[in-house]
Structure 1
């Protein structure tokens, strides 16, 4: 019998959009039989900045019990979904800081040969969806990962319009995660799990002579 896929979802979310997408992915994966770790990365912003934005402060309080990501969460995983809001067309500093803690398992080859895929959100319609997802893919390449984008492989991805990964535009906090984004998140999650199961079942490479 095939073993279930171990899926780690690592994300940063300030006001909740990315967290909502991450939870949708976690729910989908759990229903599909995967073992799931949902992890947020540590917040780096000062308390004064968080408290100056009511939505940011409310989300920080609401997700305080979500475990923080550690490198072992990626070592454990067969597949990794990594999410970040766009920051000037790039990943958030919070997620990047977590990535910068991965040197030791990376040096030991413990993060390679896993399936990786990314998701994002922006406040404006053309605010860096693709560039942020491509920036994440650069990290996945350095880790030796197998990148599995959702592509235009399902009608729900044509509706979502982003082959690089799930993305959502909240129009400055006025547009909550909707059915289109949720459906795209499920398509991406299911595809990641399918490829991860194949990679996990593949015979190990023989040791170098």
Structure 2
């Protein structure tokens, strides 16, 4: 992921990432595997791009059902790669929120 982000310099330097709406999600193999720190680091790169971050915050109770990460949905996976938490509703909420914010930006809505 870091290598991919590092290749985006030309795009953001030419202004092609400015005002693009972005949102991040993460996973780890242990419950406290740095999911929040990973998202914050990801968002730091996106801030350099001039992107608009659409974090879910605590905008819906489904966030708490998925572990309560306000920066983005995160999930723990077991040794076989199976998700431990049920994050489907949180992922759907975060995706819908991101699309709604992108539509507002595109349409010039103030709220």
TM over 0.5: yes
Give CA-to-partner distance per residue, 1:157-208, whole Å, 9 cap, x none: 121111110110113336x2367211111010000000000111128xxxxx
Give CA-to-partner distance per residue, 1:21-49, whole Å, 9 cap, x none: xxxxxxxxxxxxxxxxxxxxxxxxxxxxx
Question: Which structure has more strand as a fraction of its residues?
Answer: 1
1:69 equivalent in structure 2: none
Aligned with residue 171 of structure 1, among 71, 75, 78: 78
Larger Rg computed on CA atoms? 1
**Structure 1 residue runs without a partner (length 5+):** 1-94, 204-209
Residue correspondences, number: 108
TM score, norm. by length of structure 1 = 0.49
Aligned with residue 184 of structure 1, among 57, 65, 90: 90
| SS state at 1:190 partner | helix
| SS state at 2:25 partner | strand
Give yes or no for the alignment of 1:156 onto 2:67.
no
CA-atom RMSD, angstroms?
Answer: 1.7
8 Å contact kept, 2:76–2:85? no
Give yes or no for the alignment of 1:101 onto 2:12.
no
8 Å contact kept, 2:77–2:84? no
Distance in 1 between the 2:57 and 2:75 partners? Answer: 16
Using CA pairs under 8 Å that are at least 6 residues apart, name the structure with larger relative contact order, 1 or 2.
Answer: 2
TM score, norm. by length of structure 2 = 0.89
1:82-101 equivalences in 2 (<5 Å): 95-101=1-7
8 Å contact kept, 2:76–2:84? no
